[in-house]
């Protein structure tokens, strides 16, 4: 079924000077870490060093020569990281870019946190989302929060809260993928009238016991 | 096209009430001028506004408030309504000042009141009697059902409001969750029925059959659900001249107590004046009060139509409570329209001497987003997150309620010292919910617990705070005695015989069901009165 257009970026977000500045910070963070190659995680591992190395000052004096390729690499790395963290693959690269933009725009430290998370994930012996999350929640709660913020963005389609909340995706939000054999995102029509009388599938999975009771999504 | 400055009928407000009056009168050949404070909005734009909205629970946000004619907004709060009293937050009401009015977003529940709702004082010794009886209104209820396009149970289900004709459409077949609730509750002492709704179960009045977009609030994308915009269009096609962005701030009255003109600010803030033979104030229960109070003169010091001092008093709503739990079976709310059934075993009975009637209703809204927020708060990701969302989406049950409330003159709206952008006063509301309602809510909570148990409920969460349900009633109350009421049985003001009030504000009891169909029936009654007065009756 073809869905209609994704929500548009609110006027002023694209080309917004402060947004550009925040993207710049992500890029400089990446450039300073010199970890981005085309080899994905392996390249990241080889150049990463410790996660703490990337938590230094955000202001980098490294000039952004060739900004566009660096930006594209940041987008690519965010896409790969998102796929690892959510367990959903492939994810939409355009949405990935917009999530990264919005997360960076809303939190000036996100760029550095993202780099740090990249490194930790690259070094991790496990790549299953749940194992990664529980390890991080226990060993590095700050980066765990970053992980959950990224997952929350992809699932809800929204970055930020209250008046700052920015809708990146509606029907493309991952939450709807979990139920797309039964439900449509509200405002869309699933099938011919009265389909709703039929018995839907039974879901027997037990409710999960909260593993991190205090984790707060972004 | 030049604007007419005078008409047989001047209608103020373009919601379901005003639009029905305008449509009827224009079709009968009267000249009709309709003034709407807010702007025109296209359905597609409202849908896109919804899809771009971060807080999907905010039904007001897809309808951005006009600068010159603000309506209440809560995300963030624009403080348009100045709320006071012990239960102030329970009157944080939603309504829209846009062409078409607040039925752009509603559950489309199209109930008739019960005969006893019209004679609460006579039968139960509480509240007030209306100046009209159910039997007087019955033909108008049916006409309203035809106009709005109501589908309801034509299978012999007794909803307590005697009817002479079948519903214009049969009710929509129930969703799986509603079927299960019907099966389980009806053999356990409850009465759960298909709700009459202004929602198409077949193509009707050029609008399509509901296909379950599950978005009745804040906007039906396909117009299978009725909204006042339907009759705005009919009124305009029949020759009504609609002026949007016309904020009426004063009615002029002459020495013989006749209303002679309506003054409004146009979109540029300039004052304009229109005259008419009859005036129909249909600007909802609060904005209509505002206009009457702002129109005070030396003779009418307390505002027009207010010799009784009852204008703005007796505010009512349907204070609501709720419960949410996880059922032990997969019910999958969200397939079909947002609401299909109600539990109606406490709408009437001798208990009404002591505590409020109520209606409980099962929510058939998609639960995915709320399920996701819960699952994310658990710190889940990966397949476990997907499973959790799926489980909660399938098993979450939410039930809400409307409770009756008695008319109390101390629950009232006044003009605030705080002003809007045009310098007009904001509505200031004082509200307290009495023991009559609270006693009923205790019983409702017990019912919630029993229903949850019938479905093996876990994670049972009661929402005991009285929620507003935006059914604004009582503010220009109907009665036989001009000393203690504002309008008579025709919704004509006791004080001004060419001024009619087409609003739920006239309702003298709240009952336990949505008030829109009764507004529509009363508006058609007004239309007939005016047709007769103009010599245009068929």
Q: Determine, for residues B222 and A189 on separate chains, whether the beta-carbon distance falls below 8 Å.
A: yes
**Residue B23 in this model has a pLDDT that exceeds 90:** yes
Are the C-beta atoms of B200 and B220 separated by less than 8 Å?
no
How many CB atoms are closer than 10 A to CB B79?
Answer: 14
The confidence band for A206, taking pLDDT boundaries of 50, 70 and 90, is low
**What is the nearest CA distance from B390 to chain A, expressed in angstroms?**
6
Q: What is the pLDDT of residue A207?
A: 53
**Residue A12 in this model has a pLDDT that exceeds 50:** no
| Token digits of residue B19 | 């639009």
| Minimum-distance CB partner of A178 among B52, B222, B389 | B389
Closest of A167, A95, A172 to residue B55, by C-alpha: A167
Q: Phi-psi bin for B491: left (phi > 0), alpha (psi -120 to 50), beta?
A: left
Beta partners for residue B271, in sequence order:
B265
Q: What is the pLDDT of residues B318-327, one digit of tens each?
A: 999 999 999 9
Q: Determine, for residues B175 and A197 on separate chains, whether the beta-carbon distance falls below 8 Å.
A: yes
Q: How far apart are CA A67 and CA A29, in angstroms?
A: 12
Q: Determine, for residues A197 and B53 on separate chains, whether the beta-carbon distance falls below 8 Å.
A: no
Of B194, B379, B389, B458, which to mutate for an interface test with A (greatest number of A Cβ within 10 Å)?
B379
| Minimum-distance CB partner of A193 among B47, B211, B326 | B211
Closest of B23, B428, B429 to residue B232, by C-alpha: B23
Q: What is the pLDDT of residue A126?
A: 86
Of A3, A85, A86, A187, which to mutate for an interface test with B (greatest number of B Cβ within 10 Å)?
A187
Report the pLDDT averaged over residues A25-43.
Answer: 41
A67-81, A204-218, B180-194: lowest mean pLDDT where?
Answer: A204-218
The confidence band for B522, taking pLDDT boundaries of 50, 70 and 90, is very high
Are the C-beta atoms of B279 and B500 separated by less than 8 Å?
yes
The confidence band for A210, taking pLDDT boundaries of 50, 70 and 90, is very low
| Token digits of residue B201 | 């179960």
The one-character DSSP state at A153 is H
**What is the nearest CA distance from B211 to chain A, expressed in angstroms?**
4
Q: Which residues contact B323 (CB under 8 A, 6 or more apart)?
A: B398, B399, B445, B448, B449, B451, B452, B460, B461, B462, B463
- DSSP assignments along B468-483, one per residue: -----B-TT-B-S-TT
Q: How far apart are CA B308 and CA B494, in angstroms?
A: 9
Q: What is the pLDDT of residue A190?
A: 87
Q: Determine, for residues B332 and A129 on separate chains, whether the beta-carbon distance falls below 8 Å.
A: no
Report the pLDDT averaged over residues B188-217.
Answer: 98
Dihedral sign from CA coordinates of B216, B247, B69, B499: negative
Q: What is the pLDDT of residues A157-196, one digit of tens each?
A: 999 998 899 999 999 999 999 999 999 999 999 889 999 9
How many CB atoms are closer than 10 A to CB A43?
Answer: 15
| Minimum-distance CB partner of A87 among B56, B378, B383 | B383
- Burial tier of B153 (Cβ tally within 10 Å: 0-12, 13-18, 19+): middle
Q: Compute the C-alpha angle B306/B310/B313, nearest 5°.
A: 135
Q: How far apart are CA B482 and CA B495, in angstroms?
A: 8
Q: Determine, for residues B213 and A187 on separate chains, whether the beta-carbon distance falls below 8 Å.
A: yes
CA distances from B481 to B66, B120, B147, B417, B490 (A): 39, 16, 32, 32, 13
Are the C-beta atoms of A26 and A110 separated by less than 8 Å?
yes
Report the chain B residue with the minimal C-alpha distance to residue A133. Answer: B381
Report the pLDDT averaged over residues A191-208.
Answer: 86
Active site residue B318: no
Report the pLDDT averaged over residues B224-253.
Answer: 98
**Residue A99 in this model has a pLDDT that exceeds 60:** yes
Closest of B382, B53, B519 to residue A82, by C-alpha: B382
More confident residue, A42 or B174: B174
**Residue B297 in this model has a pLDDT that exceeds 80:** yes
Catalytic residue among B318, B471, B494, B496: B471
Q: What is the pLDDT of residue B3?
A: 58
CA distances from A105 to A159, B6, B446 (A): 10, 55, 48
More confident residue, B537 or B449: B449
Q: What is the pLDDT of residue A112?
A: 94
**Residue A72 in this model has a pLDDT that exceeds 90:** no
pTM of this structure: 0.91
In B191-238, where does DSSP find H-type helix? 229-237
For chain B, percent of residues with pLDDT exceeding 90: 98
Q: How many helices (H) and strands (E) does chain B have?
A: 11, 18
Report the chain A residue with the minimal C-alpha distance to residue B47. Answer: A187
| Token digits of residue B152 | 């309801």
Report the chain B residue with the minimal C-alpha distance to residue A129. Answer: B382
**What is the nearest CA distance from A191 to chain B, expressed in angstroms?**
7
Report the chain A residue with the minimal C-alpha distance to residue B76. Answer: A163
Dihedral sign from CA coordinates of B163, B158, B171, B318: positive
Average pLDDT, chain B: 97
| Minimum-distance CB partner of B384 among A130, A155, A191 | A130
Report the pLDDT averaged over residues B485-497.
Answer: 98
Report the pLDDT averaged over residues A71-92.
Answer: 95
The H-or-E segment that residue A76 falls in is helix A67-86
**Residue B73 in this model has a pLDDT that exceeds 50:** yes
Are the C-beta atoms of B244 and B229 separated by less than 8 Å?
no
**What is the nearest CA distance from B510 to chain A, expressed in angstroms?**
31
């Amino acid at each position: 079924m073809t869905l209609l257009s994704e929500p548009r970026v609110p006027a002023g977000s694209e080309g917004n000077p402060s947004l550009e500045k925040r993207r710049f910070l992500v890029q400089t963070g990446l450039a300073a870490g010199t970890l981005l190659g085309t080899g994905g995680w392996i390249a990241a591992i080889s150049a990463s060093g410790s996660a703490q190395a990337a938590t230094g000052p955000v202001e980098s004096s490294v000039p952004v020569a060739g900004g566009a390729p660096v930006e594209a690499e940041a987008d690519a790395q965010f896409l790969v990281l998102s796929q690892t963290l959510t367990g959903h693959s492939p994810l939409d690269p355009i949405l990935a870019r917009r999530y990264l933009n919005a997360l960076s725009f809303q939190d000036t430290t996100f760029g550095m946190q993202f780099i740090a998370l990249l490194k930790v994930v690259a070094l991790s012996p496990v790549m299953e989302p749940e194992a990664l999350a529980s390890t991080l929640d226990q060993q590095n709660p700050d980066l765990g929060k970053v992980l959950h913020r990224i997952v929350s963005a992809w699932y809800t389609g929204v970055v930020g809260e209250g008046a700052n909340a920015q809708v990146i995706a509606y029907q493309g939000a991952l939450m709807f993928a979990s139920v797309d054999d039964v439900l449509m995102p509200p405002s869309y029509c699933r099938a011919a009238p009265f389909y709703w009388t039929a018995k839907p599938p039974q879901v027997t999975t037990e409710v999960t016991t909260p593993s991190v009771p205090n984790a707060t999504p972004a | 096209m030049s604007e007419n400055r005078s008409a047989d009928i001047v209608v103020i407000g373009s919601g379901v009430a005003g639009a029905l009056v305008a449509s009827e009168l224009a079709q009968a050949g009267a000249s009709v001028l309709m003034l709407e404070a807010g702007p025109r909005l296209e359905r597609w734009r409202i849908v896109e506004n919804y899809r771009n909205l971060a807080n999907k629970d905010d039904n007001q946000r897809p309808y951005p408030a006009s600068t010159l004619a603000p309506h209440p907004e809560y995300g963030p709060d624009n403080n348009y309504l100045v709320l006071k009293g012990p239960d102030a937050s329970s009157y944080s009401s939603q309504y829209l000042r846009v062409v078409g009015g607040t039925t752009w977003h509603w559950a489309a529940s199209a109930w008739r009141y019960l005969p006893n709702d019209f004679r609460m004082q006579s039968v139960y010794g509480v509240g007030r009697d209306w100046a009209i009886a159910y039997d007087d209104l019955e033909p108008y209820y049916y006409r309203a059902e035809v106009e709005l396009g109501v589908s309801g149970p034509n299978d012999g289900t007794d909803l307590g409001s005697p009817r002479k004709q079948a519903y214009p459409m049969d009710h929509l077949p129930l969703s799986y969750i509603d079927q299960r609730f019907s099966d389980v509750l009806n053999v356990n002492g409850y009465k759960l029925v298909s709700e009459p709704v202004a929602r198409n179960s077949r193509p009707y009045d050029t609008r399509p059959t509901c296909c379950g977009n599950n978005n009745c609030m804040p906007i039906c994308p396909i117009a299978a659900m009725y909204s006042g915009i339907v009759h705005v269009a009919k009124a305009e096609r029949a020759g009504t001249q609609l002026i949007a962005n016309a904020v009426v701030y004063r009615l002029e009255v002459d020495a013989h107590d006749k209303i002679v003109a309506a003054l409004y600010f146009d979109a540029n803030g300039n004052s304009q004046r229109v005259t008419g033979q009859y005036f129909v104030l249909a600007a909802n229960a609060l904005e209509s009060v505002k206009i009457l109070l702002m129109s005070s003169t030396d003779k009418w010091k307390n505002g027009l139509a207010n010799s009784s001092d009852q204008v703005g008093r007796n505010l009512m709503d349907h204070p609501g409570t709720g419960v949410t739990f996880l059922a032990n079976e997969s019910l999958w709310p969200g397939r079909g329209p947002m609401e299909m059934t109600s539990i109606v075993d406490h709408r009437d009975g001798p208990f009404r001497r002591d505590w409020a009637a109520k209606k409980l209703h099962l929510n058939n809204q998609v639960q995915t987003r709320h399920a996701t927020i819960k699952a994310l708060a658990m710190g889940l990701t990966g397949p476990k997150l997907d499973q959790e969302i799926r489980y909660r989406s399938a098993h979450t049950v939410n039930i809400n309620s409307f409770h009756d409330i008695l008319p109390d003159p101390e629950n009232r709206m006044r003009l605030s010292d705080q002003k809007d952008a045009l310098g007009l006063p904001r509505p200031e509301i004082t509200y307290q919910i009495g023991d009559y309602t609270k006693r009923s809510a205790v019983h409702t909570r017990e019912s919630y617990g029993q229903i949850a148990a019938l479905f093996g409920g876990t994670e049972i969460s009661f929402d005991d705070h009285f929620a507003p349900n935006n059914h604004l009633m009582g503010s220009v109350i109907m009665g036989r005695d001009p000393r203690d009421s504002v309008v008579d049985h025709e919704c004509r003001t006791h004080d001004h015989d060419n001024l009619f009030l087409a609003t739920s504000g006239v309702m003298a009891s709240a009952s336990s069901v949505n008030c829109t169909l009764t507004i529509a029936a009363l508006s058609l009654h007004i239309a007939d009165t005016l047709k007769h007065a103009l010599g245009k009756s068929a």
